[in-house]
Structure 1
């Protein structure tokens, strides 16, 4: 998920935008529709007034129809049609009101005025894209069709909503289109990190991503030049050093005094060891091809490391099952284990090392001795050693750390009950 955080953020922003716009338009649609219904419903007051006068004056139905026709209102007389409309129509709004009437009455005391109050209900109905007004009273009812009015239409709002929806969607497509070069650039960077030094970042785009890609291309060219110069320098240096070391070793054997012969032999052996360690460092730091990684039994690698260290096998306790396998570069991983054995032989109290797998499945090297005086980071720096008198250049743990990093592992250290425990984690 973290690798696609930008894409997920954009998708989230798009979703939130579309949902927000949809919610706003939906609320606007409901409000606009209600306002439209409320506005046209006011027409019922005109109908109610005409109908009230008709009831008060007891005028003919022809007169009522004539008064309604002025406002393009027509009474539905057909009983079947009227029933069908009342049953299938949708109620838009309904409201009750009172009709007040006054009439002269005669009794034994003479003429008097009688006031009457009639409860009426006005309903606005929609049926087959037409608007109807239905007026009910306790004694009568009438269904009136309005020729002018039509039900509320959502097409305008739908049109604007569709336009906004399309614009937001197109914006997302354009953003994704702009991000495609960034995705390709990330893949190229990954290939470059995996050792493809000839991959090109160059692009013709002139936007911000194109500028970054072109700057990366310039940086790649500079890094490749530096790496080539470094590799050439180290190889030439090691080649040029081996010749005088070999000559010096031969000349040393011609010395007559044994003491001087042993001293110079020790010097040239140390120089030869240093050149070999430099060669290993150059190989580890330039390792980018994992095709040389193969599956081996861990006990076979440890056996090879013991042979390289040239130590007594009784001084190395191997407590590892033959079923344990690792996917590594055999030569480099063997060298790392060999250096751990050498380290234990030099600095442990009893020159004994125990190699085992801990409960986490990590390779451990245990030896008795004093706790490290400095943090582990101090010892994995090149040319750093605990005791300057020891026959070492201080590259052992540095090499181990570099080899482990090339294999996706790290070197860790623990001290418990007088035991130093180095871990390939």
Structure 2
């Protein structure tokens, strides 16, 4: 490689000197005692004094009181110990008493032949960056406070739902008991039909309250609580079917229950699941076709199945079918809060089981499957 010609060296030195003076960053060269030997125009502009006035000042002399103390107690010892430091935020005593936020870097040079050691400082103006970081931190803090406030509001609303659902049970129980007493004493057929409507409405209200309370528990983190034990599930499910037949006297339910062995489960919760699935099928299925309910525990697996004829579940709804408060907007019936299937799915999960469905032009079928 050919050596640089003298005129090339002169040109490079001139360019380097111009870069030093005209850079948007501040440059300082100091001796071992941190006395400034040379500075560029950027530093002079920040401080509002000439390069000659800057000479012989110590680095700490151009800093604010707080930064001066930090420099003497931390940065100077750090520089002596490791020979450099990087991106430390300090304040300069700027022109007209203005405090200027600066990121400062420092590096010691190797000792010269004459034993002289220099320190090179690079200064970058950081006011905009600091303001941005402060705004970002303020925005983050405000967002966290708003999120916490919203979280508290959600918890309060769900606690209110749970308390309201619990307190509604008492007057509803009194209504149901009164209806039961009146059924045994009233003979008039028209009045009996009115009592049946009232009894059906009470049952529906009780079901809705139960679903709302279960939903509130799951949202508060408690989840569906189960108390499993060995039990003959057949009479429990038969009772559920009879209740639904009473509530839907004009509908036919075909039943096939084959449960020869006791099942380890929470019978009340399984009954609730079966009731929700049957009510869903009776509500949304073809009123001219029967609803099929089967239960079996062959091959150590409990399987409940509810099927109905009617329009298939739209594809847009299938992905969110077990999501709370999602109802079939394009179907005739819009009864309820959309919690029945969600609660049934949560009951299945609490048992370590699976609730699935298929839906096509022939039928819609929900299947609960649990290992026994």
Which protein has greater RCO, CA pairs closer than 8 Å, 6+ apart? 2
Range into which the TM-score falls when normalised by the shorter chain:
0.3 to 0.5
Larger radius of gyration: 1
